[in-house]
Amino acid sequence: MTRRSLKRPSQSSRSVFVGGDNSGRINTGDTTVEMPRIVRVPLAVLLAAALTVGVGWLYFDWFSPKLAPNYRTQFLIDTAAGTDPQGMTTVATSLGKTVVNSGDEDALALRRFGGRCGATDNTARLVGFDVDNREEITRAAGRMRPAGGPTLVRGIVQAVEDFSEPFDRKARQVNRIIVVTRHGVDACEDDIAFVEKEIRERVGAAGLSLQFRVVGFQVPDDQRRTLDRIATAAEAPQPVYVENASGLDRTLDWFSNAEPVLASAQRIVDTLNTTVDQVNTAIRAVKDGRLDTADGTLGRARKAVNGTRPEFDDLTGRARNPDARNVNEAADRLRRKQKQVVDAASRVLESAEAGSPLDPRMQAFQRAAAAYNDETKAMNKLLAALRGKLTGAS
């Protein structure tokens, strides 16, 4: 029997060496064992694979969500030839005004459609997604020129695929495509049933939540019914039709900027209103002598109030015009009032735990609750006025 070759290492460290001058040995700190190549190579591959998986997990599970934008919005613009030679200029100008007011954490992109049927360039992505590309989008929009027929379906299909690129950062809140078209039909597809089916299948295959908004600018009356059906196929609200520059400015800005403000504000209101029920439950528990229940319920209410920070951060990043600033300030006041309600309820609980009279602190709680209710009414009125601006109502 051949004796194994054992060598005592001079160091007491324990490590595995693969590759280089040490690629043939495993140093356990006590013995050095020769590794044949048939073991070394698979081990190196295994370690490399483990490292790749680990890096991938860090990216997708930790880095990517933290770096993801709040919204990803792609503007899909009709550059087909239209009856109004100034129409393209009006659209480009309106888009430039809109992107200036976009949220700080919004990733924007620009794609156009229009050209010859079957041509590879009848839709093209002009600006990719980024959170700091407003000027680039404005410049690219200014260079757009009307030509060819409206290739709306292919534009929508390619716009959807833009959201599914490998290693792309998905939005933390919403992925959106805002279509601005001067046509209601597709030059290359006259079978509306096929168009509807194609759009539904492509949107479904994207595998992500995707919102469509459609703005019809100077769309002929006889084409609007078709555009309505296309919007329905994309699970979008009915298109908003406008005829002039001011209407386009108002509508495009509302979809791009006011709607996200409303969404974040409404989530804040809904969350804070949920705490109202929790606080009321806690107060009833105090009156019934169930102090442990009251304490746990107030803890959940306090956590809910503090959990609205992402929405507040989003509102702060959108405070670029008076409407957004007003909503941001109102939401901040509402949250402060709700914290006062929770604090007042906590003091009622403290009195109960100490065996002190509840009336003085109950009265303070009721005053805080009334102040919160007044602030809620003011916030709802403000949000209703902002919603009305889409149609010109107030």
Same fold, 68-243 and 262-388: no
pLDDT score of 25 more than 80: no
- The string of pLDDT tens digits covering residues 85-109 is 789 999 999 999 999 999 988 999 9
pLDDT score of 206 more than 90: no
Burial of 50 (0-12, 13-18, 19+ CB in 10 A): exposed
Long-range pairs of 243-250 with CB within 8 A, sequence gap ≥ 24: 243/217, 243/218, 245/90, 245/93, 245/94, 248/90, 248/91, 248/94, 248/180, 248/215, 248/217, 249/94, 249/97, 249/98, 250/389, 250/390, 250/392
Quote the pLDDT of residue 148. 95
At position 201, the amino acid (one-letter code) is E
| Residues 168 and 60 sit within 8 Å (Cβ to Cβ) | no
- Per mean pLDDT, which range of 64-73, 154-163, 361-370 is the poorest? 64-73
pLDDT score of 358 more than 70: yes
More confident call, 212 vs 30: 212
- The string of pLDDT tens digits covering residues 267-301 is 889 888 888 889 999 999 999 999 999 999 999 99
- Per mean pLDDT, which range of 6-20, 196-210, 349-363 is the poorest? 6-20
| Fold assignment, 262-388 | Four Helix Bundle (Hemerythrin (Met), subunit A) (1.20.120)
In this structure, how many other beta carbons lie within 10 angstroms of the beta carbon of residue 232? 17
Domain limits, the chain: 15-65, 68-243, 262-388
CA nearest to 312, candidates 292, 288, 339? 339
Backbone angles phi, psi at 293, to 5 degrees: -60, -45
Please provide the size of the chain in residues: 394
Backbone angles phi, psi at 168, to 5 degrees: -75, 145
Quote the pLDDT of residue 4. 44
Distance of alpha carbon 226 from alpha carbon 181, whole angstroms: 13
Strand order in the sheet with 15-16: 15-16, 25-27, 32-34
| Residues 229 and 192 sit within 8 Å (Cβ to Cβ) | yes
Residue range 116-126: mean pLDDT, rounded: 96
What secondary structure does DSSP assign to 68-120, as a single string?
--SEEEEEEEE-S--S-TTHHHHHHHHHHHHHHTS-TTEEEEEEEE-B-TT-T
CA gyration radius for the chain?
30
Residue range 59-73: mean pLDDT, rounded: 59
pLDDT score of 199 more than 80: yes
pLDDT score of 394 more than 80: no
| Fold assignment, 68-243 | Rossmann fold (3.40.50)
CA nearest to 231, candidates 187, 161, 178, 188? 178
Percent of the chain with pLDDT strictly greater than 90? 61
